[in-house]
Chains A and B, each alone.
Chain A
Amino acid sequence: GAVVSQHPSRVICKSGTSVKIECRSLDFQATTMFWYRQFPKQSLMLMATSNEGSKATYEQGVEKDKFLINHASLTLSTLTVTSAHPEDSSFYICSARRAGGGNEQFFGPGTRLTVL
């Protein structure tokens, strides 16, 4: 149990376009989902915390108008990178925390975004 999927697994887009990444908890309900960004050989950097039915909470330095997060249901959160630029190229990973569960976060497989 506790499987999280992400789609797409990798995406290449042109500068100025928007990209949507989906995160789904497949076999459990997640009241809270998290979005991370990771650079090569570095730790995970939390971008935002997404609670079902409410606005996401963004970490300091993360532009909420650029990284739009929607948590429409207990099993789905989406991250939209708007007007992407090459510096947005990165590995984006979501995680989900089980409703009524402990502090464990279960991670998706990640999305490799390349902006040309």
Chain B
Amino acid sequence: GQQLNQSPQSMFIQEGEDVSMNCTSSSIFNTWLWYKQDPGEGPVLLIALYKAGELTSNGRLTAQFGITRKDSFLNISASIPSDVGIYFCAGPPAGGTSYGKLTFGQGTILTVHP
């Protein structure tokens, strides 16, 4: 099936630092979604991107839909301890009959040291 390559797999940073993670695919995506999952909870939608080149912010979070439609990145500025969690990129592959199914990246585990 479709694969999303998400990197890095994990990050250990100091509070206040900026964070960047990205997802790449060999296939074109029409939508890119970024989720955060806290331990023992379900993922929460952070940002949704719908058009190639789109740059969208949500507070300290910024995400971009790559021009080639095969990649996306998520930046977190001035990290704080509550940013800890697993971040997933996801999207429905373009074309085909996915019936709304999402392909997920492997996740980036973020640890923030106070």
Partner-B contacts on A (CB < 8 A): 2, 4, 6, 32, 34, 41-44, 46, 49, 57, 91, 93, 95, 97, 102-110, 112
Taken together as a complex, chains A and B put the C-alpha atoms of A110 and B41 apart, in Å, by 6
Number of interface residues of B (CB under 8 A): 26
Taken together as a complex, chains A and B put the C-alpha atoms of A37 and B68 apart, in Å, by 31
Beta-carbon contacts of B30-49 to A below 8 Å, as 1s and 0s?
11010100001111110010
Residues of A near B104 (CB, < 8 A) are: 43-44
Partner-A contacts on B (CB < 8 A): 30-31, 33, 35, 40-45, 48, 50, 86, 88, 90-92, 99-102, 104-107, 109
Residues of A near B100 (CB, < 8 A) are: 32, 34, 49, 97, 103, 105
Residues of B near A106 (CB, < 8 A) are: 45
**Residue contact B43 to A107, C-beta cutoff 8 Å:** yes
**Residue contact A107 to B42, C-beta cutoff 8 Å:** yes
The residue that A49 contacts in the complex, of B30, B48, B99, with Cβ under 8 A, is B99
**Residue contact A43 to B102, C-beta cutoff 8 Å:** no
